[in-house]
Amino acid sequence: MLVLKFGGTSVGTPERMENVANLVTSVEGRKIIVLSAVSGTTNTLMDITNAMKSGDTEQANILVNSLEDFYNNFSKKIFKTTNYQTLGKEIISRHFSLIRLFAAGKFDDRTRRELLAQGELISTEFFHAHLHERGLKSQMLPALHFMSIDENNEPELEKISERLRPLIKSLEKYEVLITQGYICRNYKNEIDNLRRGGSDYTASLIGAAVSADEIQIWTDIDGMHNNDPRIVKNTFPIAELTFDEASELAYFGAKILHPSTIVPAQKFSIPVRLKNTMDKEAPGTIISDNSEKGKIKAIAAKDGITAIKIKSSRMLLAHGFLRKIFEVFENHQTSIDMISTSEIAVSVTIDDNSALNEISEELMKCGTIEVDHNQTIICIVGNRIAEKNGVLKLIFNSLGTTPIRMVSVGGSKNNISLLIETPYKEKALNLLNKGLFDSHD
Ligand code: ADP
Ligand code: ASP
Ligand code: MG
């Protein structure tokens, strides 16, 4: 069994959706197809919920109407026969009646989540109908029947597997099963989601749940690049990555993968292949247990970081002190990304500021604190690079006089992280690209 996930741009126009259908039918064997919403849809649904939240019903209606127009045009192009054009209209009318009902009602978080789910529900229905119009047998595998998260928003892999395996068995005669990425049910059985970009995570959870042979993430670029292609010119695709390398890159900002994608795949050693829908001959990236050691593979950057420094006049690092500090973060369910210590101070970074006020108040009992917003973690990744002689020299030489706020080495063998102020990010990524990869051929 293969799991193939196609992102928003890959199904972003009727032509591209047709291209995905060609691609799916050219792959042999049984497969589960995970689809994102058509590109732009989740953003628009998000804008609708924001307009509703601020009481701007007029703006919400404008957005709903223009999204519906978009789908009407999409439907007219993707469906060729009258029967299927009627089906397209029916799909749109069903979902948009619901969207209008939500938009007219009282705004709350549950409504927001139900609205956000409509994108993947529509794209999968369209794709399924498109395959049928072409005479290809496919069957829907509704994500809301098997994908779930617990009270801590963690996917319930065992339960997902227990639900999914018999479902798939009962659909044995179908080669192509289609499901929605991103959406799930929470512990209250309400509609929820796996956070932005979550369709990648859906694919790897399904791959792990059914012991797939391979998880393929099809997107709009030819694999994981050595640096962020939105910021740096002349980046190139990396042929092979280990699970650890890919995991670090995803967690530290490589947008091509949702931060948690690698975790379930790695647990069951299921290879993850990144491929380009627009250039399917391109080799892409294979993520598995194997990879060349001691080589700098890639750089990623994660914005929206806050650095907190806790200073004490006493010996801060006397035993028990760090525990007290970490407990503050644990009590507020806020995870720490980077840490650096000196005798009288400790600096940590967080990417979730929702409990920052409470955390700061409690930390003040331990010493004086300084909070810096608008920071970026730059993460340099390679299998065992931290053991390679001269790597730090190369990194610091490349960065020249760029101010660095924190450095983390030795936490893992695969990662060297730096904290800088976000306005220096573009320059730092470009300097590192030049210094670390210029000899690449
Ligand atoms: P999808 O809609 O298919 O999920 P995404 O937009 O989420 O696609 O991810 C693909 C995009 O990730 C690429 O178009 C690229 O701009 C961006 N990206 C950021 N960092 C990297 C990287 N290191 N390698 C490849 N792509 C990256
Ligand atoms: N449609 C969702 C989003 O835009 C999930 C995804 O595309 O992976 O975030
Ligand atoms: Mg994505």
Ligand closest to 7 (CA) is: 1
Q: Where in the chain is the domain with CATH 3.40.1160.10?
A: 2-220
Phi-psi region of 46 (alpha: psi -120 to 50; beta: other; left: phi over 0): alpha
Cβ distance 9 to 16 under 8 Å?
yes
Q: Kindly report the CA angle at 156 between 151 and 162, in degrees rounded to 5?
A: 140
Band of residue 70 on the pLDDT scale cut at 50, 70, 90? very high
What would the pLDDT profile of 90-127 be if each residue is shown by its tens digit?
Answer: 999 999 999 999 888 888 999 999 999 999 999 999 99
Does residue 311's CB lie within 6 angstroms of at least one atom of ligand 1? no
pLDDT at 388 over 80: no
Band of residue 317 on the pLDDT scale cut at 50, 70, 90? low
Does residue 225's CB lie within 6 angstroms of at least one atom of ligand 1? yes
- Enumerate residues 6+ apart whose C-beta is below 8 A from 419: 305, 307, 338, 349, 375, 376, 377, 378, 404, 405, 406, 407
d(CA 242, CA 186): 31
Band of residue 292 on the pLDDT scale cut at 50, 70, 90? confident
C-alpha 97 to ligand 1 mean position (Å): 33
Does residue 6's CB lie within 6 angstroms of at least one atom of ligand 2? no
Does residue 195's CB lie within 6 angstroms of at least one atom of ligand 2? no
Does residue 193's CB lie within 6 angstroms of at least one atom of ligand 2? no
C-alpha 437 to ligand 3 mean position (Å): 26
Provide the pLDDT for residue 98.
95
Q: Report the mean per-residue pLDDT for the chain.
A: 94
Pick the CATH number of 2-220 from 3.40.1160.10, 3.10.20.30, 3.40.1190.20, 1.10.10.10: 3.40.1160.10
* Protein residue with its CA nearest to atom 9 in ligand 1: 256
Q: Where in the chain is the domain with CATH 3.30.2130.10?
A: 298-437
Q: What percent of the chain has pLDDT over 70?
A: 98
C-alpha 403 to ligand 1 mean position (Å): 28
Of 72, 74, 124, which is closest to residue 93 (Cα–Cα)?
72
Provide the pLDDT for residue 116.
97
| Long-range Cβ contact pairs of 137-140 (< 8 A, separation 24 or more) | 137/173, 137/174, 137/175, 137/176, 138/33, 138/174, 138/175, 138/176, 138/177, 138/178, 139/171, 139/174, 139/176, 139/177, 139/178, 140/177, 140/178, 140/179
| Stronger pLDDT, 287 or 315, i.e. the higher one | 287
C-alpha 64 to ligand 1 mean position (Å): 27
pLDDT at 1 over 60: yes
Does residue 197's CB lie within 6 angstroms of at least one atom of ligand 1? yes
Does residue 155's CB lie within 6 angstroms of at least one atom of ligand 2? no
Mutate to test the pocket of ligand 1, among 255, 272, 275 (most ligand atoms within 8 A of CB): 255
C-alpha 258 to ligand 1 mean position (Å): 10
Mutate to test the pocket of ligand 2, among 41, 45, 199, 220 (most ligand atoms within 8 A of CB): 199
Provide the pLDDT for residue 440.
61
Q: Which atom of ligand 2 is found nearest the CA of 119?
A: 1
Provide the pLDDT for residue 115.
96
CATH class of 298-437: alpha beta
pLDDT at 333 over 70: yes
Ligand closest to 38 (CA) is: 2
Tell me how far CA of residue 4 lies from CA of 31, 158, 303, in angstroms: 7, 21, 29
Does residue 230's CB lie within 6 angstroms of at least one atom of ligand 1? yes
Q: Which atom of ligand 2 is found nearest the CA of 258?
A: 8
Of 195, 310, 215, 319, which is closest to residue 258 (Cα–Cα)?
195
pTM beyond cutoff 0.85? yes
Provide the pLDDT for residue 413.
83
Specify the range with the lowest mean pLDDT, choosing from 22-26, 179-183, 190-194, 390-394. Answer: 390-394
Does residue 199's CB lie within 6 angstroms of at least one atom of ligand 2? yes
pLDDT at 9 over 80: yes
Neighbour-count burial of 355, counting CB atoms closer than 10 A to its CB (0-12 exposed, 13-18 middle, 19+ buried): middle
Cβ distance 200 to 261 under 8 Å?
yes
Q: Which atom of ligand 2 is found nearest the CA of 200?
A: 8
* Protein residue with its CA nearest to atom 12 in ligand 1: 256
Provide the pLDDT for residue 293.
72
What would the pLDDT profile of 183-235 be if each residue is shown by its tens digit?
Answer: 999 999 999 999 999 999 999 999 999 999 999 999 999 999 999 999 999 99
Ligand closest to 182 (CA) is: 2
Provide the pLDDT for residue 144.
98
Provide the pLDDT for residue 290.
80
* Protein residue with its CA nearest to atom 5 in ligand 1: 256
Provide the pLDDT for residue 314.
66
Q: Which atom of ligand 1 is found nearest the CA of 227?
A: 23
